[in-house]
Chain A
């Protein structure tokens, strides 16, 4: 069975600081993809970043970057220079090659403090 675990239900960070959200996963597949999605109070799910398992290089999108540790099955999200607009629920998701279904974590609620 495939699982995604987010062990931090809630986090807070001061504006302009850096925060790291944790995600661990489990799959027996060798080919898979990992995602971080953001869900702000509007509840619109927004893709933050995506990582292909076969790529060793960590994905980066502006202030968002991941630390992908394949052997440890860890996929953490780092947000640099946090902004008030980063306040949201963040979901980690896994999809394996050959299936279209996402496995979502339970989410981490991030609050950026002014």
Chain B
């Protein structure tokens, strides 16, 4: 159990276009989902925390108008990179929290590689 899927696994787009990434918890309900960005050979950087039915909470320095997050249901969160630019190229990972409060173990999706040309 505790499987999280992410789609697409990789995407190449032109500068100025928008890209949507989906994150789904397949066998459990996740009240909280997270979006991370990871640069090569570095740790995960939390971008935002997404709660079902409410606005996402963004980390300091993350542009909320650029990285739109929607948590429409207990099993689906989406990240839209708007007007993507080459500097947005990265590896994006979502996770879903199972459990309440500080007991919430996070289960991660397989990640999405984004390349903006």
Contact = CB atoms under 8 A, between A and B. Distances in A.
A96 B46 contact: no
Contact-size category for A: 20 to 34
B44 A104 contact: yes
A106 B110 contact: no
Contacts of B110: 42-44
Interface string B90-111: 0101010100011111111011
Contacts of B93: 43, 45
Nearest to A104: B43
Interface string B37-63: 010011110100100000000000000
Contacts of A85: none
Contact of A44 (B46, B101, B108): B108
Give the interface SS of chain B, mostly helix, strand, loop or mixed.
Answer: strand
Interface stretch (A15-23, A31-39, A57-65, A67-75): A31-39
Contacts of B49: 100-101
B25 interface: no
12 contacts: A33-B103, A33-B105, A35-B105, A43-B38, A43-B91, A45-B44, A47-B105, A52-B103, A100-B32, A100-B101, A102-B46, A104-B44
Interface of B: 32, 34, 38, 41-44, 46, 49, 91, 93, 95, 97, 101-108, 110-111
